[in-house]
Structure 1
Amino acid sequence: MIVPSGIGKKRLSLLQDKVVLHGGRLVSSFEEEGRLTHVIVDDMLSIDGFKKYVEDEARVAGVPVLKTQWLSRCLAENAIIPLGEHQMFAMPKICPTVLVGTSLGHPHEEQTKEISINKDGFACAHASGMKTDNVNQLITEELGKLAKIYKNSNDHWRALTYERAINQIKKLPKPISSYEEAKVLHGIGPSLADKIWEIVEQGKLRKAEKLSEGEKVRTLELFTSIWGVGATTAELWYGMGLRNLNDVKTKAHLTHQQQIGLKCFDDLLERMSRAEAGEIAAVIRKAVEELCPGTQTFACGSYRRGKSTCGDVDVLVTHPDGVSHEGLFQPLLKKLKLSGFLTDDLMIQEQSTAQQKYLGVCKLHKENAKYRRLDIIVMPYGELAPALMYFTGSAHFNRSMRLLANKMGMSLSEHGLRAGVVRQGREKVNDGHLLETPTEASIFQHLGLEYRPPEDRDH
């Protein structure tokens, strides 16, 4: 990761381009667990300044923080040179919590004893329905405009800064009524406090208003609305002189996914009703039952969280006997394609894990039906509980659960919950052992949390 603070925008872009050109991978967020190996900062950035950006030191535990000069030399020599004098500091390693076995009513099952971990700060420890009204809604809406603008322009660092500030402000029990109140909030410096106070006084933020009116911001927002187009591609197209969807259609070299995203642009951008999402899930359920009686299907995502509208539909497919799901994936896709229900394939993943995943586009057989995004995941029954939790979300809830598991010396994914995990920094050196998780409630219990039903995970 290259921390942009103190590094000019042109120089930052140049360094990022060269890293990719030399085969490196850029990490844009501390949330990308397990991928961060080096952090590059401006030579003048202090450790206190760095900690302010990081917020949670566990995210970079054991990761070397290096001067930009180190990266420049690596690029010049086309090799990873010794850290040596280029290392400014390294955040201390976080030792995993000791695991203590206790019975959950299942043989050989373990639960972590709650040792010196304050869970109150974790979103997963609270029901989303318990959220108080946002008494600073105007402030968070205006800051949200800037966060979206920065995200679309590939400035993930500033976008993340604003998103964190918004989350802080949403939790406040009373309206911000002074500059001093804004300035003392965790993670909010003088510059951001100035913007907050401007919103309080003026009822709007001039910078957000000005940027929103700019051609580039509007164009990048349009391009990133196409399925399969990220901020980097949007920037590239803008630099090529593309300004609208017709330009993209006639002048850009499109991937298969982007062609589909452009073809179905209006439909995929529009959220569907809960009723329509239920109809789509029912089509999958009927096809599965005809192919393999007794197979179970679960509609996840925002549908399972009880939302009135859905952006897409995620359907899990499994069989209680633990074996009948095998060999079902391709026949199911073939059946749904022959019926005309599946219209376009975006991605098919079969080999990497026990779970087989299909990402595509579907369309119901009825008048005025629209193209809709659909994911189908065929999986072993033993992974049902963690998969249900993962594909139900929300994304913020899932990140919170994974971070808590990490701090407890565990590892949580859609495949399972593992205990006794040993890490050096953010790298796993021992995967530990798999815990029995027959239900979602058992995962909460292993983490020492009160169970939250899906509708209470909409953080």
Structure 2
Amino acid sequence: MSKRKAPQETLNEGITDFLIELANYERNVNRAIHKYNAYRKAASVIAKYPQKIKSGTEAKKLDGVGAKIAEKIDEFLSTGKLRKLEKIRSDDTSSSINFLTRVTGIGPAAARKFFEEGVKTLEDLKKIEHKLNHHQQIGLKYFEEFEKRIPRSEMQKMEALILQELEELDSEYIGTICGSYRRGLLICSKSEKLIQKLKCFLNFIFRAVNHVSKLYLNVFVYISLYRLIPKDQYYCGVLYFTGSDIFNKNMRTLALEKGFTLNEYTIRPLGVTGMPGEPLLVDSEKDIFDYIHMKYREPKERSE
């Protein structure tokens, strides 16, 4: 079972790789989201560091790298491995659940359920394919493709093709390629891999949209499927699917502190009883930032 790569290749790729692996373990197996966020934040900060890290002490000077993570960095730099990861990889439960969550559409809870039913590998999943939902079936079918990373230059060509197709079908359509591509990373993750498949579906999808209510003027592309989003929800969707997940979590937390609830569909004010009110008008991503009094951050500044 191969491990996931960090968001992009860096001078400290070995360190970011093991931090991402630990993060996935904490999220998928232990369901410890706070630890997941801590490892992800440390990996993101280290990925941006312009020099090769030589010690845990050096890493600890970076915001988001605490004493325990610094100790792990020292261990990795001195031995080339991490005892905790060796133990995790040798544990059948941990390794199987982590692997299953790499299939698009299978989250930690579903992965554990499948494991308890004796499902551990892709071959096992294929035997119960009839039990998978449509999203999971797509994830299984295109597993190898979704695992690959795409150079940014290739993504730019795909983006041009898709937006050209949109323009030819109807000048009112707008589209945004999100995820790590929009955040400016050099290597794009599986969340954008769908674009290679999308061209075959475009004519069908967009011609079908012509028969849908004019509320659905915008088409939003999401992992392994297309998604039709009403135009009044478009920018909340763009914000959410651009990520990163940690940035989204922090922004949603701030929104709550300011008296709003924010998700991929809408931003709503919270009433005195804590119940959300009517969705607020959103004509751009910046509108969302303004509502919660947060300084606007360009997509390239959201890779936390």
Q: What band does the TM-score fall into relative to the shorter chain?
A: 0.5 to 0.7
Tell me the distance in 1 between the aligned counterparts of 2:115 and 2:124: 10
Q: Is contact 2:27-2:36 (8 Å) kept? A: no
Match of residue 191, structure 2, among 312, 320, 339: 312
Tell me the distance in 2 between the aligned counterparts of 1:160 and 1:385: 28
> Does 1:160 pair with 2:34?
yes
Tell me the distance in 2 between the aligned counterparts of 1:193 and 1:279: 40
Residue 454 of structure 1 and its aligned partner are, at CA, apart by 1.7
Tell me the distance in 2 between the aligned counterparts of 1:274 and 1:186: 27
Query: Given residue 21 of structure 2, which amino acid in structure 1 is its aligned partner?
Result: K
Match of residue 145, structure 1, among 21, 42, 56: 21
> Does 1:443 pair with 2:293?
no
Query: Given residue 83 of structure 2, which amino acid in structure 1 is its aligned partner?
Result: R
CA 355–219 in structure 1, closer or farther in 2 if over 3 Å, else same: farther
CA 135–422 in structure 1, closer or farther in 2 if over 3 Å, else same: farther
Q: Is contact 1:314-1:375 (8 Å) kept? A: no
Bigger Rg over Cα: 1
Match of residue 141, structure 2, among 260, 263, 273: 263
Match of residue 230, structure 1, among 107, 112, 116: 107
* Structure 2 counterpart of 1:422: 271
Query: After superposition, what is the alpha-carbon deviation per residue over 1:142-188, rounded to whole angstroms, capped at 9, x for unaligned?
Result: 45433323433x3212x53254256369769995449xx89xx9997
Q: Is contact 2:37-2:246 (8 Å) kept? A: no
> TM-score under structure 1 normalisation?
0.47
* CA root-mean-square deviation: 4.6
> Does 1:298 pair with 2:176?
yes
Q: Is contact 1:423-1:429 (8 Å) kept? A: yes
Query: After superposition, what is the alpha-carbon deviation per residue over 1:376-425, rounded to whole angstroms, capped at 9, x for unaligned?
Result: 43432x44443432332222222222211211122333444444x2355x
> Does 1:458 pair with 2:300?
no
* Structure 2 counterpart of 1:325: none
CA 244–387 in structure 1, closer or farther in 2 if over 3 Å, else same: closer
More helix by share: 2
Q: Is contact 2:103-2:143 (8 Å) kept? A: yes
Tell me the distance in 2 between the aligned counterparts of 1:314 and 1:355: 24
CA 448–282 in structure 1, closer or farther in 2 if over 3 Å, else same: same
Query: Given residue 246 of structure 1, which amino acid in structure 2 is its aligned partner?
Result: E
More strand by share: 1
CA 196–423 in structure 1, closer or farther in 2 if over 3 Å, else same: farther
Query: Given residue 452 of structure 1, which amino acid in structure 2 is its aligned partner?
Result: R
* Structure 2 counterpart of 1:398: 248
Tell me the distance in 2 between the aligned counterparts of 1:379 and 1:314: 24
Tell me the distance in 2 between the aligned counterparts of 1:410 and 1:241: 43
Match of residue 259, structure 2, among 409, 423, 434: 409
Residue 305 of structure 1 and its aligned partner are, at CA, apart by 1.9
Q: Is contact 1:358-1:377 (8 Å) kept? A: yes
Q: Is contact 2:178-2:192 (8 Å) kept? A: yes
Q: Is contact 1:144-1:163 (8 Å) kept? A: no
Query: Given residue 450 of structure 1, which amino acid in structure 2 is its aligned partner?
Result: K
SS class of match (2:180): helix
Which structure carries more relative contact order (alpha carbon 8 Å, separation 6+)? 1
Q: Is contact 1:312-1:374 (8 Å) kept? A: no
Equivalent pairs: percent with the same residue? Answer: 27
Q: Is contact 2:255-2:261 (8 Å) kept? A: yes
Tell me the distance in 2 between the aligned counterparts of 1:357 and 1:255: 26
Match of residue 336, structure 1, among 204, 207, 224: 204
Query: Given residue 209 of structure 1, which amino acid in structure 2 is its aligned partner?
Result: E
Tell me the distance in 1 between the aligned counterparts of 2:141 and 2:44: 38
1:12-411 map, 5 Å: 141-152=17-28, 154-157=29-32, 160-164=34-38, 167=41, 176-177=56-57, 204-250=81-127, 253-257=130-134, 258-310=136-188, 311-313=190-192, 335-336=203-204, 373-380=224-231, 382-411=232-261
Residue 267 of structure 1 and its aligned partner are, at CA, apart by 0.9
Query: Given residue 408 of structure 1, which amino acid in structure 2 is its aligned partner?
Result: K
SS class of match (1:377): strand
SS class of match (2:175): strand
Tell me the distance in 2 between the aligned counterparts of 1:169 and 1:300: 21
Q: Is contact 1:143-1:162 (8 Å) kept? A: no
Q: Which runs of 5+ in 1 are unaligned?
A: 1-133, 316-331, 340-349, 362-372
Tell me the distance in 2 between the aligned counterparts of 1:442 and 1:358: 19
Q: Which runs of 5+ in 2 are unaligned?
A: 1-9, 195-199
Tell me the distance in 2 between the aligned counterparts of 1:272 and 1:135: 19
Query: Given residue 429 of structure 1, which amino acid in structure 2 is its aligned partner?
Result: M
Tell me the distance in 1 between the aligned counterparts of 2:121 and 2:298: 43
